[in-house]
Amino acid sequence: MSLRQRLAALLLCLRDPQKVASFQRLCGVEEPRLAGADATAPEERGGRNPDRAAVPEGGGGKLRRRGVRNGVRNGEPAPAGGRESQATLPNRAQGLRRNSLTGEEGEAFGVRNWLLFYLFSFGTELGNEFFYITFFPFWIWNLDALVGRRLVILWVLVMYLGQCAKDVIRWPRPASPPVVKLEVFYNSEYSMPSTHAMSGTAIPLTLVLLTYGRWQYPLMYGLVVATCWCSLVCLSRIYLGMHSILDIIAGFLYAIFILTVFYPYVELIDNFNQIYKYSPLIIISLHLALGIFSFTLDTWSTSRGDTAQILGSGAGIACGSHIAYRIGIMSDPSLDTLPLTIPSITVTRFGKVMLRILIGMVFLLLMRIVMKKITITLACKMFGMKSDDIRKARQCMEIELTYRYVTYGMVGLSITFLVPCLFFFIGLS
């Protein structure tokens, strides 16, 4: 066998959904089986989700799984005596996070090891919106705004290039069966590469690169935390049945490659964002153009909205840092004070941190809710679409790009400008 054939065989092995299913079983995941149920795999739907085929239900636009689920096959009860499950009732759980845009819900599954279930559920959240919208502000408001800004710059690059690669390569998610899908929120996206793995690699590694030498701490501590972080996120995506081993390895290597190329320029980009007079105009135009380009790569999926969301957040944070720098609200420590020492935790300092997080997150949440409501309504009127069917409207390219970009642009602007202004006026700077 030639080297090329061996490499092809290795890639096929790493992409095999049976490997994912084996890892799930090793970690205690079981799919409830119905006696007498047909074990054949559902038909593929457009090459994107080989494990699911959606059919209308009722007329309300909802989607349901075709085949057997919870004792029902295609709307009819399963054969009598057919509820024999490998997982006992107390060990059954429902799939994580229903997707409001597609109507998909996770299938029921069994869990034999709840510790691993909660550990990997936490790991996958390290690559989701809730984590980003709390972690980045925490760094910018409480720890080191410079590190926070530059971390966001590289995160935007990594996530944008990863999302675009998915829609160019167009590999489907691992097939189910044999894989048990514990999460369906991102099931409408393609699989290669794993952007969770990219984010889980880029964020901790970038933090080590940006903070070591700037802050006083042992390098080994940073490397151990980064390794554990990356491993937890990557393994969680296999555990949840969302990616093959090859997807994870490709995401990891792709993130390393992007950081290698762009990290040397992150200081230049950050200084440009803050200092150059016309940088907000260039930032907004560039991020919007990248969003339009990514929306033309493929048909609708949650990947498109996430891309616009990432670009909008990055543009808002960059523009906010420019305004804050111009008016002198946020200033970085002098180079003479480096390296910085980790301050001791006092009651007063801890109280201020908690107040910043509480007040700031409430502000961001209100901004997100208000802007989302306003922009979807205005975009529907602007592009002549009825706003009574929000799900359909949010899948329209013009509306989705507009409301995601503007809404999260304002959230980003709030993180680096509006909320720091609020802190300044109430004495929490």
Q: Could you give the residue numbers annotated as active site?
A: 196, 243
Q: How far is CA 58 from the centre of its chain?
A: 32
Residue 111 DSSP one-character state: E
- CA dist 184 and 90 (Å) reads 22
Q: How far apart are CA 217 and CA 223, in angstroms?
A: 11
Distance CA 244, CA 19 (A): 8
Q: What is the 3-state secondary structure (H, E, C) of 93-158?
A: ECCECCCCCCCCCCCCEEECCHHHHHHHHHHHHCCCHHHHHHHHHHHHHHHCHHHHHHHHHHHHHH
Q: What is the maximum span of the chain, computed from C-alpha positions, in angstroms?
A: 77
The three-point CA angle 391-404-51 to 5° equals 50
Instruction: Give the pair of three-digit tokens for residue 25.
Output: 């079983």
| Burial classification of residue 76, based on how many CB atoms lie within 10 Å of its CB (0-12 exposed, 13-18 middle, 19 or more buried) | exposed
Count of CB atoms situated within 10 Å of the CB of 41: 13
CA–CA dist 65, 63 (Å, integer): 7
